[in-house]
Structures are given as C-alpha cells and as structure tokens.
Amino acid sequence: MKAIKGRVAVVTGASQGIGRAIALALAREGASVGLLARSKEKLLAVCAEIEALGGRAGVYPCDATDYPALRRALDQANQDLGSIDILVNNAGVGTFKPLEKMSANESEAPIALPFGAAVVASHHVIPGMLQKGEGHILNLTSPAGYFPFPYMVPYTAGRFAVTGLSYSLHEEYSRRGIGITLLCPAQVDTGYFERNDADMGWYPRLAQMFPVLKPEEVGQQAVKAIKKNKREKIFPFLLWFSVKFYLKFPRFTFALLRILGLLQPVNKPPHR
C-alpha cells in the first residue's frame, strides 16, 4: 500500500503506548483512524491529538476480548469513517512469572489478547478488503513471538500464535491484494510494566542486550512497513540478527543463552 493518505485505518489498543504512536503516525500520513481500546477517556485524548494535527479520528471503546463487542466496534468504525483499508492488531496483555504462580485469568488472558482478538478482527475486515481488492493488516508481536522464553509461558504462546497467524494470512491473502505485515520491535518504553501485573523482575536477562525503543520509533516503522508492503519487520538490527540466528541454530542458541545466564530472570533468583 504505497499511499496511506485518504485511507481508513483501525488500531486496537490505541489509547496509549505503541497503539497511540501508530495511530498518530497513520494520521500524519493522512489516514482517518478508528481508535479502539477499553478507556474512552484515553481514546478521546488521542483523538484530540489527531484532530490537532488536522486529522480525522473516531473513538470506539470496547474490550477486545469481548469478541461480539469488538465486531460491533469495527462495524461502527466502518459506518462512521468508511470501509476499513488498514487494520492494526496491537492490543495485548501478559503477566510474567512462573506458570504455577499465575491465576487462571493470568494464564488465559494472553491467549484471548492479542491472539484471539487479532483473529476476530482480521476475519471481520478481510471480506471488505477482498471486495475492494486491496487492504493491509499489520500484526504486532514481540521477541517472545520467536524465542520460547521461560517465566512468560502464556504470553509467549500468544505471541507465537500471532506470528503464525501473520505468516498464514500472508500466504493466503498476499496474492489477493491484501498486504500482511508482522511487526516485531524490541522492548518499548510504554510504561507497560507500571500499568500491568507484569513483573519486570521475571523478564529474561537477554532483553537487556537490546536498546529500549520509543513508541514513536515503532509508529514510524509501522508506517514504513505498510507502505513497502513488508511481510515482516524485526528491529533494531541486533534483534533481527538474533532472531535469524536462533531460527537457524535453535538448540545451539538456547544452550549458549543458558550457559551465559541470559535466560535467567532480571531480578529474581532461578526458580526451583
């Protein structure tokens, strides 16, 4: 999708962090943006930012794990803004701790969001895109979508699922006019650990090797990936190299990471 100007985009998890940054980046390119998240107040603030840029936005509060509500929100955005050209599946949650220490909700939530919501949203918008013969879906994952990290089993499973979803969508629809992009940044400074029950202490020490990105950098990369119809964008370069090396030599990579202690938690003693 070479030109974003005049397109209609919908972003899930748009009230803050990466979702907000992508929504603003799309608006700067001239897209009308449907903003989806649970907090109406925060969405209105993002909407005001977009309007201050001279852009157009709509606010659609919903819990993306309530799939009927998600479909209704997408329908309303389609009615208010026009047929959806770009879908950004960004919303996600996750708790980091040993699996046996998680509550039932903590173990279930990372599957419903991002994976379940991404499947539902994609299923809902693809018919309209096929009818027009064009469109773009951008799916957010994380390094946990490639590396089977300990102490974040449901989160890793959900992100692996998004990776597989994106690859599969690409194979099915890329030749039918719909671009599919999997976007994977390293850790991003979004305040996620402060807002969620996601203890940074259980994060693998490997994460400290990579620079912490700003949400605005992710927004810029998202726009570039859509314009260039990228199948996959992993950044920065060190993360891209690490992922590709692991995929080529998985057993060797994890044996080396264990020897170096990089799979151990940042601030916690090894779990026994």
- Report which residue type is found at 260: L
Structure tokens at 113: 């969001």
Q: Give the residue numbers annotated as catalytic, written as ranges.
A: 155
The three-state DSSP-derived secondary structure of 46-102 is HHHHHHHCCCCEEEEECCCCCHHHHHHHHHHHHHHHCCCCEEEECCCCCCCCCHHHC
For Cα atoms 236, 183, 130, give the angle at the middle one, nearest 5 degrees.
155
Q: Both tokens of residue 141?
A: 């994952």
Task: Evaluate whether 258 touches 222 at the Cβ level (below 8 Å).
Answer: no
Q: Which residues pair with 34 in a beta bridge?
A: 10, 58
- Give the three-state DSSP class for 59: strand
Number of neighbouring beta carbons within 10 Å of residue 258: 11
Is residue 119 classed as helix, strand or coil in its secondary structure? Answer: helix
What is residue 200's DSSP assignment? G
**What ranges make up the beta strands (E) of 186-240?**
232-235
Instruction: Quote the CA–CA distance of 214 and 190 in Å, as a whole number.
Output: 8
Residue 33: name the closest of 79, 72, 81, 75 by CA: 81
Give the CA diameter of the chain. 56
Query: Locate tokens 């990369």: which residue?
Result: 221
